[in-house]
Structure 1
Amino acid sequence: MAPILALLKAVLLLPFNKFIHKDFHDVVERMTLIDKLLFLIIHFVDKLGIWHRLPVFLGLIYLAIRRHLHQEYNLFNVGKTPTGVRFNPTDFPYRTANGEFNDPFNEGVGAEDSFFGRNVLPVDQKDKLLKPNPIGVATKLLSRRKFIDTGKQFNMIAASWIQDGSAIYGNDEKSLKKVRTFKDGKLKISNDGLLLHEDDGRAISGDIRNSWVGVSLLQALFVMEHNAICDALKEEDPELGDEELYLHARLVTSAVIAKIHTIDWTVELLKTDTLLAGMRVNWYGVLGKKFKDTFGHVGGAILSGIVGLKKPENHGVPYSLTEEFTGVYRMHSLLPNNLPLRDIDAPTGPNKSSPLSEEIAISNLIGLDGEKMSLVIGFTRLMVSMGHQACGALELWNYPMWLRDLISQDVDGKERPDRINLPALEIYRDRERSIARYNAFRRAFLFIPISKWEDLTDDGEAIKTLEEVYGNDVEELDLLVGLMAEKKIKGFAISETAFILFLLMATRFFTNNFNEETYTKKGLEWVNTTESLKDAVVRHHPEMINKWMNSSSAFSVWDSPSNAPNPIPLCLRIPQ
């Protein structure tokens, strides 16, 4: 009987296998029937290369299918997984110093010193760590020739974005205590709006290692946000003490950062109607913000978004960021060579632009030198200058040269005696950490692999140089180089291959614990009424927005036009 069933199965799969790219036969064989059908849908669309040109609602369906398949087949645990409930979540109503006790089934999930997970099974490259030589690859394909920017889409504030609350608070008890005043729950900040500094010039903040003034400015802004939240919470409930105010404000500030990252920063990074809709669906669901604000979270993630779900969903694999996520988040090409400083005392020009006064090398704005320079320039002038400066494009030959001879720092922000070649090091790190090279990476994420350099790029010079470095073997292409060389979707500042890994994986503090009991009524209201970085800036520096920002988003170049109203409902729009 078994041979007959096997034969019948082979006959039924024959039409599938003829249509499906040969590299996917094995993975499709392991899928459920429903997943096979879903894969056929995205595979058909991928062959046509049209998902980003589909009407928005169809594009969202494509992305929802992809997300489901990647959650099923691209999450791999690293390390041991405890079974059964390990602790009572009510015993840990706040985020702990080192990230422990986030998941009731595994107290170590996402904590300091926990493993990075995997989206792709490790690919042993011990015999190819230096093939081709990382320094040669960086020199021939990455090193900046002439600065290429992103136009009006993405500015230097976007390039400095801090991503999560650990940059403000730190990752251990020592760091958390260092930044606190221990009065009314507040954090340390100077009267001029900048971070305070140690006697040796190091900034007092959660994470200062290998930092620069762009990050320091955002750290200072969110210290002010934290302190303002403390004031609001204390006004609502004067009985709250220092510790309670601090812990509640830390939760609220972290949620604000996550929300800004989801529906503002990512939307500007992937500036299309489809991704605007997708990011808002992530947070609010298809029913939208007004419905959710009025009736609360109704139904599952599709109707009301991930935030406020009854419980977090880890798809059977303990939550973690992954080695592959680290690999696609290498974005140092966003940094330009220089930051043109604006004259904030002069009258503004068209679209609230300020005249240039001088340029300062970005290499002078990193580390201890950068902190000293920030004290001279001041918060407002630095912020306005960064807001009006486009960041670099993520393309070949646009990696800053000064990062090839960089003084790195230890965990305490102290300079090390050695220098590093950062682009070469990043290529080497991917190989050392067994991250798949570009084509294998695409294959693992169910993207049709390239078979020749022309599939990757239309740039003749790039093709010639790729052949010079890698020969005709497209399988040897390093991930970082491939991501920079890949043809970009219109509106995308990153490659399609990198984008697909930007999955929002939730914790209980954004799901079943996203409530008034955990955040307080005022804290939850604070998160729900913050829609963008612009909202945070206007709370603390209203004059900055009124005088110098014309753009709709604080992450766009500030003198760019505001987004024009569009009467067509978002999900019914057709990308241009």
Structure 2
Amino acid sequence: MTLSLSRIQAWHRWPFLIAVPMVVGHRTIMRRLNLTDTQTVPPPTALPPEFDMRGARTADGSFNDLGTPWMGMAGARFGRNMPLDRTFGETPPTLFAPSPRLISNRLLARGDFVEVPHLNVLAAAWIQFMIHDWLSHESGDRCAAPHEIPLPQGDDWPEGRMTVLPTRPDRRSAADAGRPAAYANTETGWWDGSQIYGSSLERQRAVRTDPATGRVLSDGKLGLTADGLLPLAHRTARGKADRNLELAGVNGNWWIGLSVMHTLFAREHNAIVDHLRDAYPDACGEWLFQKARLVNAALTAKIHTVEWTPALMNSPEGRMVMRGNFWGLLGEHYARAFGRVGTGEILSGIPGSPTEHHAAPYAMTEEFAAVYRMHSLMPDVFSFRHHADDAEILRRDLAKVAGGQAREIHERVAFADVVYSLATSKPGALVLHNYPNGLRRLDRLDANGVYLDMAAVDILRDRERGVPRYCAFRRHINAHVPRTFAELTDDVTWQKELDEVYGGNIEAVDLLVGTLAESRSVRYGTPPAFGFSDTAFRIFILMASRRLKSDRFYTEDFRPEIYTPAGFAWIQDNALRSVMERHCPALRPHFADARNLFFPWAKGAGAGEARTGAASERSSRGGAPWTKP
């Protein structure tokens, strides 16, 4: 039925009561047809000595599935959302046709900044914070010849040639012969807060170390400086040196927005530890750490599911579907008042339902990584202002808020003012001609000793890793495939540019370009009020629910006996609003009237004063959940 209706018109053009079941139907079909296993020889696992695997997450993500302990752990492979025989990576000459640099220059380069009026820059920071929890590819393969991306005639690239190291494939055994290359995920694939806590015991010990003494904290807390900031790491987990770089479970591609999110949720971990210690005064520090990690990770999963994603899918259908993942169609109020209705996920949501991996062992997928290329959300310029009067303190371009320079911002601007500045600034729209120019010529050298154009690299990586191009991609997810550029976008100028760059061949359009070009007014284009494309959304509805449904800590073990009654209540009672109230109380007047904290906050003196009392009351109760649709 879902596919039949889709052939008439896209799901978002049907009335609400038809559109929502259609979305659920798309997810059901994709769970059966669009999950492909790539693993041939699983990575090694070892039973952690004296570790409560049932009641806590391992550092490397192993033993989440007790019957298949390697599933989702660091070092396991990315899966696929495509048939395996359609995922062979492209090779020259098609790998460079058309040149990724030409696409960067002609189709992606930002001209006038196109903003998203209903979002703030915290939304851009949040998604990178989440992506670092879920996935990262290994460093470039130094044993292979670098790719040399052709430069268009007259290109002003400073090196005169553009080289990029290939992604390092995961080579394990003879069983891989004749199969497409597969790639290892260096982070745990679970929604387990690994960007905060690390994906190894070594990294976990580092973030638990007191920066003042150099010793691992025995009270279960994460190490913070005396003024509540992250300690300095001086280098990433992969060894890249940076004098002022902050320490986190994952601190690559660092910038001020990531610094804010990591700081907030490191503070939140420590607040959860205090809460649990009050409830269980005889508990040891290790037990407190492990339970606080469970709670903190689940809270971020809840925020992403019921706050961030509905902010970007700002339509009745989008909000219903994503909030339904967590609370079910009966909604939060029913769930909290009466509990679950049966074991199914439709009425009562995924948390607490039975674990199910569907057609393949759980893994993040290459296609999921591809549709989450959202660099266009980043502004090129950041204005840091006092929250009291909105007066500017300093202004920095993107390159000057990245890496260790984020810490330099904190040294000049109070943390609350940094948060306020991001929350009152707009991110970029996910459209053509809006890729940050600061990322198209990075002011730093990569591991191969050359400057990077991230826009060109994004195009290259999808081709290299066997992610199908736009039309083939949509064909494999049972979505309408445009036959002409006019069926892709209603922008006549874009149609002409696409035709010129791709030589009139719409089948050659790259996935990233196609998702950025999708227009809302074309018949099968982007849904109204969505911040991203329909193509990306279809992968989201599959993988967002999979991150919950495959994880036993969100399914069969999502219960007070595992999280503790006090910890379980913390997840139910808190949201991003209460996290902000707890750690940035001076900012309450600015977000008091914000329906969603990823929407712009009020600026300047006196903002939201009428609501300050209500916000204080929520905070005194531990923070009420965000409940408005």
**Which TM-score band applies after superposition, normalised by the shorter structure?**
0.7 to 0.9
SS at match of 2:251: coil
Cα distance between partner residues in 1 of 2:425 and 2:566:
36
1:470-489 matches, cutoff 5 A: 470-487=502-519, 488-489=526-527
Partner of 2:469: 437
Cα distance between partner residues in 1 of 2:245 and 2:80:
35
Q: Is the 8 A contact 2:445 2:451 kept in 1?
A: no
Q: Which runs of 5+ in 2 are unaligned?
A: 134-192, 210-216, 235-242, 520-525, 609-628
Choose 95-104 or 354-363, whichever is displaced more: 354-363
Cα distance between partner residues in 2 of 1:57 and 1:535:
33
Q: Deviation per CA, 1:329-385: give whole Å up to 9, x if none.
A: 000010111112223342xxxxxxx34454321210001122222222121111000
Structure 2 letter corresponding to 1:178: A
Q: Is the 8 A contact 1:210 1:408 kept in 2?
A: no
Within the candidate set 408, 419, 429, 1:393 is matched to 429
Question: In the alignment, is residue 529 of structure 1 matched against residue 573 of structure 2?
Answer: yes
Relative to 1, partners in 2 of residues 1:515 and 1:493: Cα closer, same or farther, differing over 3 Å? same
1:310-329 matches, cutoff 5 A: 311-329=354-372
Choose 456-465 or 190-199, whichever is displaced more: 190-199
Q: Is the 8 A contact 1:334 1:392 kept in 2?
A: yes
Q: Deviation per CA, 1:389-412: give whole Å up to 9, x if none.
A: 0100011010011112225688xx
Structure 1 letter corresponding to 2:228: G
Question: In the alignment, is residue 61 of structure 1 matched against residue 99 of structure 2?
Answer: no
Q: Is the 8 A contact 1:185 1:243 kept in 2?
A: yes
SS at match of 1:160: helix
Question: In the alignment, is residue 156 of structure 1 matched against residue 121 of structure 2?
Answer: yes
Q: Deviation per CA, 1:213-258: give whole Å up to 9, x if none.
A: 1101110000111000000100001011110000000000000000
Q: Deviation per CA, 1:161-184: give whole Å up to 9, x if none.
A: 111412211111111000114232
Cα distance between partner residues in 1 of 2:388 and 2:510:
47
SS at match of 2:478: coil
SS at match of 1:501: helix
Partner of 1:8: none
Question: In the alignment, is residue 168 of structure 1 matched against residue 196 of structure 2?
Answer: yes
* 1:267 Cα offset (Å): 0.5
Question: In the alignment, is residue 72 of structure 1 matched against residue 21 of structure 2?
Answer: no
Partner of 1:558: 601
Q: Is the 8 A contact 1:116 1:320 kept in 2?
A: yes
Partner of 1:24: none
Partner of 1:513: 557
Partner of 1:457: 489
Choose 123-132 or 393-402, whichever is displaced more: 123-132
Count of aligned residue pairs for this structure pair: 506
Relative to 1, partners in 2 of residues 1:407 and 1:244: Cα closer, same or farther, differing over 3 Å? farther
Question: In the alignment, is residue 260 of structure 1 matched against residue 288 of structure 2?
Answer: no
Partner of 1:192: 227
Cα distance between partner residues in 1 of 2:74 and 2:432:
34
* 1:205 Cα offset (Å): 1.3
Partner of 1:180: 208
Structure 2 letter corresponding to 1:219: H
1:7-406 matches, cutoff 5 A: 37-41=1-5, 43-44=6-7, 47-49=8-10, 51-80=11-40, 91-121=53-83, 122-127=87-92, 128-151=94-117, 153-161=118-126, 162-163=129-130, 164=133, 165-181=193-209, 182-198=217-233, 200-299=243-342, 300-309=344-353, 311-346=354-389, 354-356=390-392, 358-406=394-442
SS at match of 2:504: coil
SS at match of 2:57: coil
Cα distance between partner residues in 2 of 1:234 and 1:408:
45
TM-score (norm 1): 0.84
Q: Deviation per CA, 1:424-448: give whole Å up to 9, x if none.
A: 0110000000000000001111111
Cα distance between partner residues in 2 of 1:319 and 1:67:
16
Instruction: Note the aligned Cα RMSD (angstroms).
Output: 2.2
Structure 1 letter corresponding to 2:602: D
SS at match of 1:340: strand
SS at match of 2:532: coil
* 1:90 Cα offset (Å): 6.7
SS at match of 2:539: coil
Structure 1 letter corresponding to 2:571: V
TM-score (norm 2): 0.77
Q: Deviation per CA, 1:48-91: give whole Å up to 9, x if none.
A: 23x22433332210101100001011111111388xxx999974
Cα distance between partner residues in 1 of 2:272 and 2:445:
32
Cα distance between partner residues in 2 of 1:234 and 1:370:
33
SS at match of 1:125: coil
Structure 2 letter corresponding to 1:157: L
Structure 2 letter corresponding to 1:139: N
Relative to 1, partners in 2 of residues 1:90 and 1:379: Cα closer, same or farther, differing over 3 Å? closer
SS at match of 1:419: coil
Cα distance between partner residues in 2 of 1:285 and 1:427:
37
Q: Is the 8 A contact 1:230 1:245 kept in 2?
A: yes
Structure 2 letter corresponding to 1:253: N
Cα distance between partner residues in 1 of 2:593 and 2:411:
27
Q: Is the 8 A contact 2:53 2:63 kept in 1?
A: no
Q: Is the 8 A contact 1:408 1:416 kept in 2?
A: no
Question: In the alignment, is residue 495 of structure 1 matched against residue 529 of structure 2?
Answer: no
Relative to 1, partners in 2 of residues 1:444 and 1:176: Cα closer, same or farther, differing over 3 Å? same
SS at match of 2:61: coil
Q: Is the 8 A contact 2:259 2:406 kept in 1?
A: no
Choose 221-230 or 359-368, whichever is displaced more: 359-368
SS at match of 1:80: coil
Relative to 1, partners in 2 of residues 1:269 and 1:519: Cα closer, same or farther, differing over 3 Å? same
Q: Is the 8 A contact 1:158 1:555 kept in 2?
A: yes
* 1:498 Cα offset (Å): 0.6
Q: Is the 8 A contact 1:150 1:393 kept in 2?
A: yes
Q: Is the 8 A contact 1:394 1:484 kept in 2?
A: yes
Structure 1 letter corresponding to 2:406: G
Relative to 1, partners in 2 of residues 1:290 and 1:548: Cα closer, same or farther, differing over 3 Å? closer
* 1:290 Cα offset (Å): 2.2
Q: Deviation per CA, 1:2-23: give whole Å up to 9, x if none.
A: xxxxxxxxxxxxxxxxxxxxxx
- What is the aligned-residue identity percentage? 35
Cα distance between partner residues in 2 of 1:211 and 1:131:
32
Cα distance between partner residues in 1 of 2:196 and 2:434:
30
Higher helix share: 1
